[in-house]
Amino acid sequence: MRHLVTVHPDYFPMYTVAGKWKHGGEAWTNWCEGFLGGQLWLMFAYTGDLWWRDSAVHYSRLIEHRKTDDSVHDLGFLFWSTWRRWYDYAPNDSINAVLIEAGKTAGSRFRENGQYLPSFVSAESSFIDIMMNVGIIFYAAEQSGDAALAQSAARHCHTTRRYLVRGDGSTAHEGLFNTDTGDFLRASTHQGWRDDSSWARGLTWAIYGFGTAYQFTRGIRFLQTAEACAAYYIKHTATHGVPPNDWLEPDPADPFESSAAAIAASAFLQLAELATDAVRARMYQQYAFTILDRLLQPDFLALETPQWEGILKQGTYHQRLGLGVNESVMWGEYFFLEALLSALNILTDGGGAVSARPGG
């Protein structure tokens, strides 16, 4: 991170190529600009060193203009990881106003016809990933007393639960809707193996996102959905807890997708806090620790890989487009650090200076 900030200032990396962050590879979409700033906030939380805080403030400010960007579905990814963390340290109205505006922008994409938030791809498309972006909408609604906005976020969650989460707890990446009638047409995928298969990262977005929806609403069906997705993850993943890019792909290009595992670790730790049953809570926590133990081995952790600029190897961004396959990816780094800080807080019996999750 220090290298990125000092050698490539103001650069927003997405995935490495042969272990290097700076390259001319395509982005597909612009959803990662909060993850470096988010990691800088996490490093400040862990160390208390003001260099990390000043860098985090700088990278947060660099994305402020995106608060009105209604061309993507990802403002939660951008602002929850940065400005929401900043607000934890500096709870003042001007920072909160940016969060509220970003949340309102994200909510403004809601389509009455079909009751969903569309993906950046087109009006007829919704993604499972959008579950990670409803938190900031619920937050903006709560802070501004906008009940209609909260309703939109809740309706999107119900639509996603109904059409993108399957009976066995697996998830489709994309749902396609008739934009005139709002009718659901079919499931599809961009980053998974097949339309009817199970893209691992999408499932982890669902575990985390439905957990967050439950946290804001206390709607028990959201918790049940997060738990159903978590059960699918555990059942279909080897005992070490690191899945492939898609569980159903017979011959994956890489046996592991480490970023999905990192997101899962953090999502399972969140679920451990939310679970209504102590035995299950303990099981989720243990499972998250199993994942982290595996990711801390040198085939994933790049500590012993000279010249590798990322933290976590063996992540994949977009297998079909050949983008960031078997590389480090920015969101993998971010959620890995978040999960590690959560784990440290647990191991030190709540001794962490601040919660690892924004607003926690």
Q: What is the CA radius of gyration of the chain?
A: 19
- How buried is 295 (Cβ within 10 angstroms: 0-12 exposed, 13-18 middle, 19+ buried)? buried
Q: Which is nearer to ligand GLY, 77 or 177 (CB)?
A: 77
Secondary structure tally for the chain: helices H, strands E = 13, 5
User: Which lies closer to ligand GLY via its Cβ, residue 30 or residue 179?
Assistant: 30
Q: Is 31 in the site for ligand GLY (CB under 6 A)?
A: yes
For position 173 contacting ligand GLY by CB under 6 A, the verdict is no
Element (H, E) at 326: strand 323-327
Which residues, numbered 198-257, are part of the site for ligand GLY (CB under 6 A)?
Answer: 201
Is residue 44 involved in binding ligand GLY (CB under 6 A)? no
Nearest distance, CB of residue 74 and ligand GLY, angstroms: 7
**Binding-residue total with ligand GLY (CB under 6 A):** 5
**CB 76, min distance to ligand GLY, A:** 11
What is the DSSP code string of 218-268?
--HHHHHHHHHHHHHHHHHS-TT----SBTT-SS-SSS--HHHHHHHHHHH
| Minimum distance from residue 201 beta carbon to ligand GLY (Å) | 5
For residue 321, the minimal CB distance to ligand GLY (Å) is 11
**Nearest residue by C-beta to ligand GLY?**
129
Residue selected from 85, 99, 109, 129 as contacting ligand GLY according to rule CB under 6 A = 129
**Minimum distance of ligand GLY from residue 191's CB (angstroms):** 6
For strand 315-318 and strand 184-188, is the pairing parallel, antiparallel, or unpaired?
unpaired
In the complex with ligand GLY, the residue whose CB is nearer, 85 or 190, is 190
DSSP string, 20-88: BS------SS---TTHHHHHHHHHHHHH--HHHHHHHHHHHHHTGGGGG--SSS-HHHHHHTTHHHHHH
Helix (H) / strand (E) containing 323: strand 323-327
- Residues numbered 300-359 forming contacts with ligand GLY, rule: CB under 6 A: 317
Place of tokens 């001319």: 24
Q: Looking at residue 118, what DSSP letter applies?
A: P
Task: Return the residues of window 79-108 that contact ligand GLY according to CB under 6 A.
Answer: none
**CA–CA dist 175, 99 (Å, integer):** 28
Q: Which is nearer to ligand GLY, 289 or 327 (CB)?
A: 327
Q: Which is nearer to ligand GLY, 282 or 320 (CB)?
A: 320
Query: Residue 277 Cβ, how far from ligand GLY at the closest point, in Å?
Result: 30
Q: How far is the CB of 32 from ligand GLY (least distance, A)?
A: 8
Smaller CB separation from ligand GLY, 191 or 258: 191
In whole angstroms, the minimum distance from the beta carbon of 254 to ligand GLY comes to 15
Taking the C-alpha atoms of residue 287 and residue 231, their distance in angstroms, rounded to an integer, is 11
Contact residues: ligand GLY, CB under 6 A: 31, 129, 191, 201, 317
